[in-house]
């Protein structure tokens, strides 16, 4: 193959972009924006764990905030997860067993329980396998806690997002209040900090930065500024021209 053809092939070769990091860093918002910019598919893995958590809550496997791991595992075979593009939102909605649950998975009740559910080995095994299947065709942007370390350790671009916990709590608070949820900023910050602790110290696939990941601290960055930063990185890694 000539140098020209090789360059052309490289230019159009789609890659996997893995985005890991702490809760409420805006990973999903950023990942959606990257996918839209590049014409890639966005896969919200956090929504998948939230969907399992919601199902467990509605089927009695979580009571008073206590996760019954055996009951959650027993429910796994009955759970089918899919994403469908919603043209009104310009993004994909998540469905469990054919039922739209996009709004219901974002409540504080689900947030308070999702770390416990996501720490269950059988839950992670089921969802990691599904995520890997979704990414086989490449050209995907996937965000979560272990994408660059477990799901796609060979991803061409790995980002690790972080931000000050107080900033993250405020962002989450504003998001929930905009939806009409009655929550306190103090409760949200407690949830953010407890999720950080649980995510970093769970036995299976703990949250950690991949050695070859690039850190993005977006405490004081807009989505537009983050995109400018990312596109510089994307061009450096892929040799692409302006996108």
Question: Per residue in 75-84, pLDDT tens?
Answer: 999 999 988 8
Polymer length in residues for the chain: 243
Superfamily of domain 16-234: P-loop containing nucleotide triphosphate hydrolases (3.40.50.300)
pLDDT of residue 85: 79
At residue 39, the pLDDT reads 87
Q: Say what the pLDDT of residue 242 is.
A: 56
Distance CA 84, CA 54 (A): 18
The Cα 47–Cα 209 span in angstroms is 21
- Which runs of consecutive H residues, i.e. helices, occur in 77-184? 108-118, 121-134, 165-178
Residue-level pLDDT at 92: 81
pLDDT at residue 189, rounded to an integer: 94
Contacts of 14 (CB under 8 A, 6+ apart): 40, 138, 139
Q: What is the pLDDT of residue 134?
A: 87
Alpha helices in 39-184 (DSSP H): 45-58, 69-75, 108-118, 121-134, 165-178
Report the b/e string of 88-97 with b at 16+ CB within 10 A.
eeebbbbbbe
As a whole number of angstroms, the distance between CA 115 and CA 67 comes to 10
Residues of the chain below pLDDT 70? 1-12, 241-243
The string of DSSP codes covering 134-201 is HTTT--EEEEESSIIIII-TT-SEEEEEE--HHHHHHHHHHHHHHTT----HHHHHHHHHHHHHHHHH
* Confidence (pLDDT) at 182: 86
Please tell me what DSSP assigns to residue 40.
P
Residue-level pLDDT at 145: 86
- Residue 158's closest CA among 79, 243, 234? 234
Tokens for 197? 């602790």
């Amino acid at each position: 193959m000539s140098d020209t053809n090789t360059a052309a092939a490289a230019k159009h070769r789609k890659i996997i972009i893995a985005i890991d990091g702490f809760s409420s860093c805006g990973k999903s918002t950023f990942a959606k924006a990257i996918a839209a910019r590049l014409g890639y598919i966005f896969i919200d893995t956090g929504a998948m764990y939230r969907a399992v958590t919601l199902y467990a809550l509605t089927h009695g496997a979580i009571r008073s905030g206590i996760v019954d791991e055996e009951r959650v595992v027993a429910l796994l075979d009955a759970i089918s997860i899919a994403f469908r593009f919603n043209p009104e939102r310009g993004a994909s909605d998540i469905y469990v067993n054919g039922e739209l649950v996009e709004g219901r998975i974002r409540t504080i009740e689900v947030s308070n329980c999702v770390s416990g559910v996501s720490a269950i080995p059988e839950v992670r095994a089921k969802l990691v396998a599904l995520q890997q299947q979704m990414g086989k065709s490449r050209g995907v942007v996937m965000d979560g806690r272990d994408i660059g370390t477990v799901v796609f350790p060979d991803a061409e671009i790995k980002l690790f997002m972080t931000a000050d916990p107080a900033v993250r709590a405020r962002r989450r608070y504003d998001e929930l209040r905009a939806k009409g949820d009655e929550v306190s900023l103090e409760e949200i910050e407690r949830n953010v900090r407890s999720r950080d602790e649980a995510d970093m110290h769970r036995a299976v696939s703990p949250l950690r930065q991949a050695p070859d990941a690039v850190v993005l601290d977006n405490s004081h960055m807009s989505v537009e500024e983050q995109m400018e930063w990312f596109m510089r990185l994307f061009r450096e890694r892929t040799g692409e021209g302006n996108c």
